[in-house]
Each structure stands twice: as C-alpha cells, then as structure tokens.
C-alpha cells in the first residue's frame, strides 16, 4: 500500500489539481504544487516553473515521494490556430521533459509517477480499450507523444502510470459546469444528432483513481479514467434535465453550426467514443459514481 508522504503536482492549480490536492491533504499527505502563476492553493506549498523559459524551482522536489503531472494549457478554450497548437503541445511535452530533467539531474527519492492523458487519443468507435491504437488527429498525436514522454520516467526505474481522462463531470467545474450554464436560460443543448457515445468520469472518481494508483505499489501502465457506464450525448442531456426542477427545452445544435463555431475543436464534442473501464475495475477500484444520474443525488 501507499508509503508516499509528499506529492508534487505539476499543474496543481487547475480544476483537477485543486480537487486532488485536497484529497491528499485529507489523507495526511503534504503537497507541493508547480504553477506558472504562483497562485496559492489552500494547504499546499507552491513553486514556480516556466516551460517557455525552461525554469523550475529545484526546491519543489525536496522530500517528494511521487509526482503527478497534470500540466498543460486548456485544449478547448481557444481556436486551434497553428500558434495555439504549438502552445498546447509545448505546455505538455516541454513541461514533461522539464520534469524529467529535474528528476534525472538531482538526487531524489521519487518512487512513483502518474501522468495525465485524455481519451482523445482514441479513434471513434465502441469498446475502446487501453490497447486500441491512437487516431490520426491533432489531439491523438499530441496525447501519444505526451504518453511517450511520461514513459521516460519508467525507463529510470520509477513506477509509472498513465490515466487517459474522459469528460470530467462536476457541477462546479469541467464540462458539466459549462453545460449547466445553458440551463439557466432554460435551454438543454444537444450537440449534433446526440447519438455519439460520451465517456465521462466524475471529479470524485478521477481523483479517487489517481489516489488508488498512487496507493498501490504494484500497479503501473495505462488506465482509462472513465466511468463504467458511458452514455449517448442525448441521454446525458436528458438525465441532466431529469435532475432539475426546470428542465429546459431541448435544442439540437447541428454539427455544421458547431464546426463553423469551433473548427477542429468540434471533435471533442462530436467524437463517438465508447471507452471501456474494464481494466480499472479489474484492479479493484470501487467507483463512487458508476452511473451518470448519481452525480446529482444528494448524500
């Protein structure tokens, strides 16, 4: 079981990183965070780094037993111009190289490394597993290269896991927060025809999975960070409607309109990907939210 007492999170000031930090602190761990903004995160010690300037505060590694790498610019928030694609690429690939160089060059006791990826690495299809070959899109190529950089840590004898993250769901953040904004205007948006499979995971389960992988020293390799029950986009919206007193009116937004608005980024909304969680279940992780509707149930 887990012997890690101090964790370094690269990209720890983001939505997932903040949630993960609190989970670690609640379990008696110390957290160091690498951030490009020096933004404080409650309960953690923040250290500055810059992939653009190839700078990193070496002190971030002091006493660290494990590293979690979530670093990377937002993928959806801005159009994918050539310049933006380079920024997205560098914020992940160069950041991971910078982390690896730090570990390689300095004496340390790091025994575990968990790197993030996303299910955008996969082509469209059903029954997608960790053995499915990458697609040929910008996002898939980015993820594939990012994962290769993660695996450099394994070559140094560090136990390495990679989590391919699905659509992260939480009413206070991630994709679900953005969808719920439309419901304020009594609009329930369905993207495209709504028949595309969407593979999601609650923020609680995503953080729980990272903690589980960190806590079990025999685990390594690639894992799909998705819930056991993917569902079609139209069914996801319907379940959100069912959870609300004012369900809103279903509004279908044609694929052609979305493509005009989002360009290449539209693949993240319209991709038909049914990603399987079998490997995560096989290692014994117990999901908090197995089905989508449970996210809205008050405990």
Residues 6+ apart with CB under 8 A from 55: 48, 49
210 in Cβ contact with 11 (< 8 Å): no
Residue 38 pLDDT > 80:
no
Residue 50 pLDDT > 80:
yes
Of 66-70, 218-222, 256-260, the poorest mean pLDDT is in 256-260
Two structure tokens written together for 116: 């993030």
Please state, for a pLDDT cut of 90, what percent of the chain lies above it. Answer: 75
Give dist(CA 39, CA 31) in Å, integer.
Answer: 14
Q: pLDDT per residue over 104-122, tens digit each?
A: 988 889 999 999 999 999 9
pLDDT at 78: 86
For the chain, the distance separating the N- and C-terminal CA atoms, rounded to the nearest angstrom, is: 29
CA dihedral 289, 291, 293, 297 (to 10 degrees): -30
CATH numbers and ranges of domains, the chain: 6-168+200-227+274-288 (3.40.50.720)
**Mean per-residue pLDDT for 211-218?**
97
139 in Cβ contact with 75 (< 8 Å): yes
Q: pLDDT per residue over 190-208, tens digit each?
A: 999 999 999 999 999 999 9
Q: Give just the sign of the alpha carbon dihedral 55, 40, 68, 144.
A: negative
Helix (H, G, I), strand (E, B) or coil at 126: strand
pLDDT at 13: 86
pLDDT band at 261 (very low <50, low <70, confident <90, very high): confident
Q: pLDDT per residue over 84-93, tens digit each?
A: 999 999 999 9
Helix (H, G, I), strand (E, B) or coil at 280: helix
pLDDT band at 1 (very low <50, low <70, confident <90, very high): low
pLDDT at 30: 96
pLDDT at 244: 85
Residue 143 pLDDT > 90:
yes
- Give how far Cα 253 sits from Cα of 142, 266, 276, Å: 28, 12, 27
Q: Strands, E, within the chain: which ranges?
A: 6-10, 30-35, 45-50, 55-56, 66-69, 112-118, 125-128, 159-165, 167-170, 173, 187-191, 197-198, 200-202, 221-225, 231-232, 249-253, 273-275
Residue 298 pLDDT > 70:
no
Residues 6+ apart with CB under 8 A from 134: 121, 122, 123, 140, 141, 143, 144
198 in Cβ contact with 230 (< 8 Å): yes
pLDDT at 299: 56
pLDDT band at 52 (very low <50, low <70, confident <90, very high): confident
Residues 6+ apart with CB under 8 A from 177: 170, 171
pLDDT at 90: 93
What's the mean per-residue pLDDT of the chain?
92
Give dist(CA 22, CA 11) in Å, integer.
Answer: 14
175 in Cβ contact with 129 (< 8 Å): no
**Mean per-residue pLDDT for 221-248?**
93
Burial class, 286, CB count within 10 angstroms (exposed 0-12 / middle 13-18 / buried 19+): exposed
- Look at 246 and 92; give whichever has higher pLDDT: 92
pLDDT at 2: 59
Instruction: Tell me which residue has tokens 């360009």.
Output: 263
The one-character DSSP state at 172 is: T
Tell me the pTM: 0.94
Q: In terms of residues, how long is the chain? A: 299
pLDDT band at 3 (very low <50, low <70, confident <90, very high): low
pLDDT band at 157 (very low <50, low <70, confident <90, very high): very high
**Mean per-residue pLDDT for 45-74?**
93
The per-residue DSSP string of 46-102 comes to EEEEETTTTEE-GGGGTT--EEEE-----SSSS---HHHHHHHHHHHHHHHHHHHHH
pLDDT at 266: 86
């Amino acid at each position: 079981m887990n012997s890690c007492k101090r964790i370094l999170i690269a990209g720890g000031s983001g939505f997932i990183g903040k949630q993960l930090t609190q989970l670690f602190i609640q379990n008696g761990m110390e957290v160091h965070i690498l951030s490009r903004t020096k933004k404080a995160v409650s309960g953690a010690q923040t250290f500055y780094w810059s992939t653009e300037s190839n700078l990193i505060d070496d002190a971030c590694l002091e006493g660290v037993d494990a590293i979690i790498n979530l670093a990377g610019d937002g993928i959806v928030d801005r159009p994918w111009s050539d310049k933006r694609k380079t920024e997205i690429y560098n914020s992940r690939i160069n950041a991971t190289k910078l982390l690896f160089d730090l570990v390689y060059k300095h004496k340390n006791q790091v025994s575990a490394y968990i790197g993030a990826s996303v299910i955008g690495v996969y082509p469209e299809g059903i029954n997608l597993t960790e053995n499915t070959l990458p697609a040929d899109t910008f996002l898939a190529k980015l993820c594939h290269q990012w994962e290769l950089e993660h695996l450099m840590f394994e070559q140094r004898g560090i136990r390495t896991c990679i989590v391919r993250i699905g659509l992260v769901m939480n009413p206070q953040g991630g994709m679900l927060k953005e969808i719920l904004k439309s419901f304020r205007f009594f609009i329930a948006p369905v993207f495209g025809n709504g028949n595309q499979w969407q593979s999601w995971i609650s923020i609680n389960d995503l953080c729980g999975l990272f903690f589980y992988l960190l806590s079990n020293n025999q685990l390594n390799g690639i894992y799909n960070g998705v819930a056991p029950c993917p569902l079609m986009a139209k069914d996801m919206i319907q379940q959100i409607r069912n959870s609300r007193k004012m369900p809103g009116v279903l509004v279908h937004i044609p694929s052609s309109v979305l493509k005009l608005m989002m360009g290449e980024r539209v693949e993240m909304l319209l991709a038909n990907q049914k990603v399987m969680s079998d490997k995560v279940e096989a290692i014994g992780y117990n999901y908090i939210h197995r089905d989508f509707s449970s996210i809205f149930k008050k405990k």
